[in-house]
Every structure is written in C-alpha cells, then in structure tokens.
Structure 1
Amino acid sequence: MSCYASLVKPSSKLLLIVLISDYIFCRLSGDEFCIVIKDITASFQSQFADTLISCLRNGMLLSVGELRISISIGIATSEPNTKSFEDLMALADAAMYYAKKRGKNQYKLFDQSIAQDVLFRKQVAEKLRVALENNEFHLNFMPIYHVDSLKIHSAEVLIRCNAKSLQSIGPDIYIPIAEEFGLIKDIDLWVIETTFALISQHSDFIEQAQLSIAINISSLELHNTLFIQDIKKLITDYNIDTQCIQMEITETSLIETDELTITTLQALQNLGIKLALDDFGMGYTAFSQLINYPVDCLKIDKSFIDSLMLYKESEKSVLKAIFSIANAYHLSTTAEGVEEVAQLEYIRNNNCDYVQGYLLSKPMPWDSFVKEVTSPKTHDL
C-alpha cells in the first residue's frame, strides 16, 4: 500500500482542519498543513497539486473582502524503504523547501536530486558544528566609504571559515544551512562577541577615527526571545559604546512582520544600536511601510547597482525613488556592490550617502583595515 504525504505552506495563515473521505487534511503548526492520501497513482499527485493551487489562486470571498492565498507544496510517496510516517513527512518537507525556492504557487515531488542535496546539507551542518567547536572561524572587514570624500566611514563584518572541510563552501551556502539546522544563533553570537572583543581592544582607535562597525544578524534573531538579553550581557561584558554599532537585517526578513519583530528592533535601537535594512529592493517592501520599521539606513541591493550598466531608465527611476524616499524618511543610504566608476558617479549625483564594493576595496583582515583607515589609498574617482 502506498501512502502520499504532502506538506502545504500558505503564504497567508489560514486555520483549516478537514476530513474528506479518503483524504486527511490537518494543520501541523503555524501556517503548515498536511494532506495524507492512501493508494494513489503517480499521475494523480501532480494533478492533485495543480488543482489545489488553481483553487486557491482564485481567492476566497469573505464578508470583509477577497482573500488571496499562495502556497508551496512538497510531495512524497512511501517506498519499500520508508520506515515510518515521520520519515515520509521529512521527505515531503524537503520537497516543500525546494518548491518555496521556486517562488509562489509551486509544487515539487521528492526525487533523487533532492535526496542528494538533503545529504549535502546535513553534511555541511555537521561540519559547521565541528568548526564552531574548534573555533575555526575568523572575521574580515569590508570598508564602507563616504560617497563624496571616499573617506572610510565604517566596516561591515563578514564571517569566514578556516576549516578545511568547508574550504570550497562559502557563507552564501553555509549560512542558510546554519539557519535550517538551528546553528545560526550560535554563529551570530560568535560573530557579535568576537566583534565586541575586537572593538573593546581597539576602542581608542575606533573613537578617534569615528568609525561604525556593521554586523549582520539572521532574521531568526527577530523571533529569538533571548537575543536582546544576550546582547545586553555582551555590551556589559565588553564595555561597548553602542553608538559605534550597526546591525543589519535583510529586507526579506520583514515581509511577514509581526509584533515580536518590531519589539526586537525597537529594543536594539533603545540600546543605542543603529539598524540597517540590507539588500533593500529585493523584498519589495512598500515605501509607505518604511515609517513603521525602526531602521536608520537602507543598503541598496547590488542587483540595482548592476542594472545601472544596462542603461535602463526604468531601473534608474526605481533607484531615484529609493533615494528620494530615504531622504524623506531621514534614512541614510548605502550602495552595495559598486564595481564601476559610472556606478559611483550615478549614486553621487543622486544623493547616496555611503558606498561599498570592489571598485574601492575588497574585504580584509582587521590589521589591513586599520592600515587602510590610517594610511588610505588615493582614489582618484
């Protein structure tokens, strides 16, 4: 007997518990639901998913208006080596992960390619655990410059791994895996504490140079009830002047903002820490919503800067709108990924405040960063 399990994740939270003849449809937690069907054919799986997506795409008419829902569906079928229902659910969950990566209203059947990638992610997660235990990480610093003077204003902290087992795997790969396997909080705290220790050691230099240090934090910290407590302790332990600290969160982490998210951000601001919205433009935040977020800076995503070289007026119009809105809301702006002189000239002419990118500098160790601040290169740009 085959058993079909499908995990469904609507983008809008809707509470449903339904029993339909041969189907079991129940809520698992939050906005995740499960459908279990016995004795079905392979062709029926795709047909069923298509029908479900089509039905929900049409929307639901409620007394207060129309509700539209998009979903991601992961599908798995029991095989002779499927040992338990929990194993089957894990396969469906893995398939749903890939469906979500494709975008809204997508489904994915569990297959061998997913199985191989699941194994890869598990192996990377284990290597990350070992690297944390062995303290096999270090920090690099990406200089951020004033647009007009090209004097260094601050540095973005970037984590790097020394472990040979992770030598060919960059943070763009292992950070999402760390989030998936519950390791990101330990990594975040390691980065923050290591940075605070360095700031404490070089506090006179940082104060004299009027530098700010920017630290990336995972969106998961916005729902970590212990995060603010941990930050307060580290501030006290290392006697940190929080005026030199900025924390960066990605814009996409605010797509589904709730009360706890806002409370956490406000608590960070109350500690004197500045907040930056990283990769801005990728999460499609409505400009009108910015006033609701306690942030101080917009970091414009590299893709917008790259598009300047395509000479598309539509892309330039979006950038101009971002700069205008930021100015109206008294937010500073940083252009990320500037690699061409023409890009620098454009953001200069549109009142951008700060710039970072390979045109001016690559990430570097702390000692090299200090030399860059004290004996800066001449940028004739």
Structure 2
Amino acid sequence: MRWAALRLAAATAAEPVDTRTARSVGASLVDNDLLDGEALPLTVSALCTHLPDVAAGLGVTRNVTAARAVMSAVVSGYVGRMRDRILSEQETVRQAEVTARKQTQDALLSSEARFRAIFENSGVGIGIADMTGRIVDVNEAFASMLGYTVEEFLHINVSDFVHPDDVQGMWELYADIIAGNRESVRIEKSYRHRDGSSVLTDLTASLIRSPDGAPLYTVAMAEDARTRREMQDRLRHQATHDPLTGLPNRTMVNDRLAELFARPNGRIGVCYLDVDNFKVVNDRLGHDVGDKLLLALSGRLHSSVSGRGHMVGRMGGDEFVILVEDPPEGEVADLADSVLAALAPPFDVDEHRLVVSASIGVVEASVAGTTPADVLKSADVTLYWAKADGRNRWARYDPERAAGDMTRYTLSATLAAGIEREEFEVEYQPIVRLSDSGVVGVEALVRWNHPTLGRLGPDRFIEVAEETGAIVPLGRHVLREACARAAEWNAAHPGADLFVSVNLAVRQAHDPALVSDVADVLAETGLPARLLQLELTESALLGPAGRPVDAISALAGLGIHIAVDDFGTGYSNLGYLPRLPLHSLKLAGVLVEGLRGPAAGAGRIVTSLIALAHSLGLTVTGEGVETTAQAAQLRAARCDLAQGWLYARSAPWNKVVAELDRLRP
C-alpha cells in the first residue's frame, strides 16, 4: 500500500489536484484485490486523516479540501472498477447458463433422435402403453410381427392380447407392474396373429415412472421366438437322434428307459441286436457301403415293429436296441424272431447284394429291483451269448449263466495278482502200476485258494488262464515246484525213479521260451529229464496247420517223456501218433467211466486203443479209476498204469509222501 499512499500524496500536491491519478489508484486496488467491501471505508478514513501529514512530509502543504477531493476520486475509481467487475462476472454467468441450456437441449434432442431411430428401426417389437392399457406408441417391428400397421396397432388395448396359451399368473404379474409393485418381468408369451395363427415371443415388460416415482407407462419388448424354438427343436433332435439312420440314439434310449422305470409296477422288454460280421463289409467294401447298409437295415428294423409302439434305437456302430413296454408273455421272443426274419432277405446296396444276419440278446424283467443300466448290461451280455452260440439267433438272459460269466471275469481280473501272492497250490495224485499197484509216479495238479471264491479246481480257471496268457507264468510255477518235490524225494530214495507228470496247456506249448524254461527248471532242481513227463492234449501237440509243434521234439530230445492227455475224446487223429516223439497215452476219463458196468462196447474200444498204443511202443495210463471193476477191466486189457480215487485222491505233498511210502511195492 505504500506505493498507493505516495501516488495519492503526489496527486494531492498537484495544482490543480490530480483526481485522475486518484481514480486510477482506486481502480488498481480492485484490480489487485487489495481491499474488500468492508475494508474500503476504513481505508478511506485513514487516508483522509493521515494524507495531509504524508503530503507535508513531502514538502507539500495543502488543505483538507484537497485531501478529500483525492479520497473522493479514489472511492470513485474503486466503485467504478468494482461495478465493472460485477457486471462482467454476471455476464459470464449468464453466457455460461445460456451455453449450458443449449447443450442440454441439444443433448435431449440428440437422445430423443437416437431413441426414435432405435425404436423405429429395431428388429425387436417395442410397444408403449399407459396405465389404462391404451397403446400410445408402437414400432413397425411389433405391428408387422402380428400382421398390423402401426396405425391399426394403436387402436388395440393391452387387454386384447389375452391368449389361451398364456402361462398361469402372467396377467397377475402385469397387474403388479401397473401397480408399481414390480419393475419388470420376462416371460414367453403367444400372441394371436391377424390371420388367426399364433406367434410365440420372448416378452419383457418394464415400468416407466414419473420423476416423483408414480407409474406412467409400461414398455413391452417382444422378440419372435419361433426361430429360436425351431433351432432348439433341431438341436434337441440332433442331440437325441442318430444322424445316419434318424433313429433315437443312446441318449434318447436311456431317457425312454428312465421313463419306463419310473412306473413302480411296470415291466420292460429289450432286444439288443448286433449285426454279424459287419466289420467285413466295412473292410472289404468301404464305410460308404457300410453306412448305406446300416441305413437300409434300420429301415427294416423300424418296419418290423411298426404299429406296435416299440422304440427302435441305434446304440452306436452296428448295435441297435428295441424297447418294449409291459410285454405280454412271449412277446419279446416273438419280436426277436420277426426281426431275424425281416433281416433275412438280401440287401441291395449299390451294385452289391449283401446277405446279413444278426445276433440278439433278449431280456424281460420287472422294473422293480433292477436299473436301466443293469437291463442294458444284461442284454449286451446275452447278445454275446447268441454270437458265441453260432450267430443269426437270439438268446434269452439267464441269471445263472450271467453269474458264471461274472465269476469268470473275476477270475480273469485276479489271476495275475493271485500268482504274485502265491495263492496257487500244487497237489499230487499217485500213478500206479496196474500189475502190482506199486506207485511209479505222481501227477501235479494245481489248485487256487481264491480269497473270495474259495478253493478252486483247475476246471474253474485253466481255460481263463489260457485266454489271458497267465497260464505261462502259472505253468512255470507248477513245473518248478513239481520238479523240486520229485527231485527231493528221489534223492532221499535212490533207485526209486519216481517220475512227476505235469500238464502243458496249448498256449504254453506255443510259447517260444518253453524249451529253455523247462531246461532251466531241470538244471535248477536237479531232476533227471527222464523222470519228467509232460502231458499235452492233441490240440497242444499240433500246430494250426496240423504239423507237430517244434518244441515237442526239442523237449523229447532233452530226454523228457511226452504223453498225450485225454486220448480218445473228440475226433482224435490217429495219423499223427507215429509222427510225434511220444512215450505214453492217457486214456480219457470218459472211456474209463464206461468200464463201470458189463457193457462190451466200451471195453472193446479201450482194448483196441491200448493195443494200438502198444503197437507204437507207447505205454498207456487209465485216468479216473474209481472202482475195482474198472481196474480189473483195464488190467485185462493190458493197460500199464492207472490213477484215480480207487488208489488215492490228490493231496498236498506232505500228505502224499506218507502214501508213497505205504504204496511202494
């Protein structure tokens, strides 16, 4: 403020008084925001009081009148500049208000234009109604969807849209919207088209409120749902039907089964069908021909049940199923016969004439106590029974046979682990000379101490072991233990020459490591090769082409005795006997069984076989000897050896040792 006081003092000293400068100082006080409205009177009073003194200090002597003229000019300059500032600020505010109002109006106009463009050009039907249901605006999409013009639509009330297919409670929901209790609702609604047809829509109804919250309008947005429904139907059909044949697929079959099983007292019949040797068609003629054959076959299947109300479905590949609801007695079997008859005529596919057969598994059951999965599994199992029984036939489900198959599966699944856990035990049955009943050898017989099925004889698991390949390690285990026992006993009884006889299965005979395995066991146990007899069936001795298996000659070359087991059963080929390095024949138990009575036929057959074997330099052993009459007839026929319950049952080695000492001549 010092500069202002000095300038004012100079203005006071001027002659005349410099009021312009004083006004300029007053204006500068506003420009520099040095004073506010409340401080101005105090400032002017102070200047009036002290300005003469300041001027005197500058060597100027003036009266109070001059000082007041200067102060009046200061106030005038201050007030004038302040008024200009206020007016300027007011104008700025006014311009801002005008600009804002214009922008708001422009925005509203733009927003309304955009809404109108969306409203009129939208593919979704949009309609606006007041609280009385009167339609006040509608777009072209909604009007044309129902077959009206916009002008015609505006004469329709919302209440006119009631349709018989409206979902229950729909109009109550709309009433809640009008009452302001609900803001919106989305439902599927049918409208009546102007031509009388129905138009299915996805409808969304919403409430528009006034600024104070009162309901004003309802807005309905409707989208034609027929295309979506058609698409859903197509997708549903694709999901539940086979694309090649058009038949219900596995999913739909399972759904139908679930429906049938939902009835507590119902019954179900199933024909599970598989085309025999269909793979040959695909492999030789191509998958295109195979697909055409399946298509033609499915047509015949469908025709064979036409009018009966049964479902025919394709489970996949060349497998089909027919479901029968509450079948009368014999209905499913008759159906299976009619299906086989329908498939019997040849199929003409392209330039090929194809003869097709099928195997069918038939199941009839009450839904109580079983499940859809169990029924299909039973039908599938039965189907493969029909295939195993010769194909081109049907088989009926048999619980006992199924239980046997399940046991067989259990054995197959646990065989390898059983060998590792040493669950298999070797028993021995003495072999005696018929002439004096002296023990000359023992046959090793394996038993399985199964952890859940108990003690099992070889008839329960040997075939399964062959199928799985487990027979090779199992046979090696039996051979090693039998040779070790025999070697130990012969070492303790010099000159006894007790031989041990071990069975070899077909798969063992064809195992490349057989000869080396046997040689290793003999070397490991110390048993002389001449005291080991290997028993093989005819199928194990001969290869696929009827030629002797090379391993047999190699084993005989080691000094091991080779015996034909179960000789006389099936269609024995006597021609191979001279071509094999054999030492012995073991007569099948069924031949020995025939010697129980006085029937001359069985005796002549046995006598002839023994004579034939002797003529070839072979010894003969009769198996399964249980009576003295059988032993007598064998002795009379000059049979060399015998074994069976008449002499001793099979037993663990420690029990057989005592019998060996007792039965030795």
TM-score (norm 1): 0.73
Partner of residue 319, structure 1:
606
* Alignment partner of 1:267 is 2:557: no
Partner Cα separation in structure 2 for residue 48 and residue 290 of structure 1:
50
SS in 1 for 2:663: coil
Partner of residue 448, structure 2:
161
Q: CA deviation at 1:300?
A: 0.5
SS in 2 for 1:369: helix
Partner of residue 5, structure 1:
274
Which of 1 and 2 has greater Rg? 2
Q: CA deviation at 1:365?
A: 2.2
1:237-256, aligned counterparts within 5 Å?
Answer: 237-253=524-540
Partner Cα separation in structure 2 for residue 248 and residue 212 of structure 1:
13
Q: CA deviation at 1:349?
A: 0.9
SS in 2 for 1:22: helix
* Alignment partner of 1:231 is 2:521: no
Q: CA deviation at 1:251?
A: 3.4
* Alignment partner of 1:149 is 2:420: no
Structure of higher RCO (CA pairs closer than 8 Å, 6+ residues apart): 1
Q: 1:143–1:154: 8 Å Cα contact kept in structure 2? A: yes
Q: Which runs of 5+ in 2 are unaligned?
A: 1-246, 250-271, 278-282, 296-316, 323-334, 347-357, 363-371
Match of 2:501 among 214, 234, 250: 214
Partner of residue 11, structure 1:
none
* Alignment partner of 1:22 is 2:293: yes
Partner of residue 128, structure 1:
415
Which is richer in helix? 2
Partner of residue 43, structure 1:
337
SS in 2 for 1:337: coil
Partner of residue 637, structure 2:
350
CA spacing shift, 1:106–1:255, aligned 2, 3 Å: farther
The aligned length equals: 334
* Alignment partner of 1:174 is 2:461: yes
Q: CA deviation at 1:170?
A: 2.4
* Alignment partner of 1:95 is 2:385: yes
| Matching residue's letter, 2:442 | A
CA spacing shift, 1:256–1:230, aligned 2, 3 Å: closer
Partner Cα separation in structure 1 for residue 478 and residue 512 of structure 2:
19
Percent of residue pairs bearing the same amino acid type? 22
Q: 2:486–2:498: 8 Å Cα contact kept in structure 1? A: no
| Matching residue's letter, 1:202 | W
CA spacing shift, 1:47–1:262, aligned 2, 3 Å: farther
Structure 1 vs Structure 2 CA RMSD: 3.9
Q: CA deviation at 1:294?
A: 2.9
Partner Cα separation in structure 1 for residue 386 and residue 540 of structure 2:
19
| Matching residue's letter, 2:591 | F
SS in 2 for 1:247: strand
Partner Cα separation in structure 1 for residue 461 and residue 343 of structure 2:
31
Q: CA deviation at 1:116?
A: 3.9
CA spacing shift, 1:355–1:215, aligned 2, 3 Å: same
SS in 1 for 2:581: coil
CA spacing shift, 1:39–1:194, aligned 2, 3 Å: closer
Worse overlay, 120-129 or 315-324? 120-129
Q: CA deviation at 1:133?
A: 1.8
Q: Deviations over 1:89-146 (max 9, x none)?
A: x9589426842xxxx8996647464544332211122333332121122211100101
Q: Deviations over 1:142-172 (max 9, x none)?
A: 0010110111111000112233423153221
Q: CA deviation at 1:190?
A: 1.1
Q: Which runs of 5+ in 1 are unaligned?
A: 9-15, 25-34, 53-72
Partner Cα separation in structure 1 for residue 523 and residue 458 of structure 2:
29
Partner Cα separation in structure 1 for residue 547 and residue 484 of structure 2:
29
Partner Cα separation in structure 1 for residue 612 and residue 438 of structure 2:
25
Q: CA deviation at 1:49?
A: 10
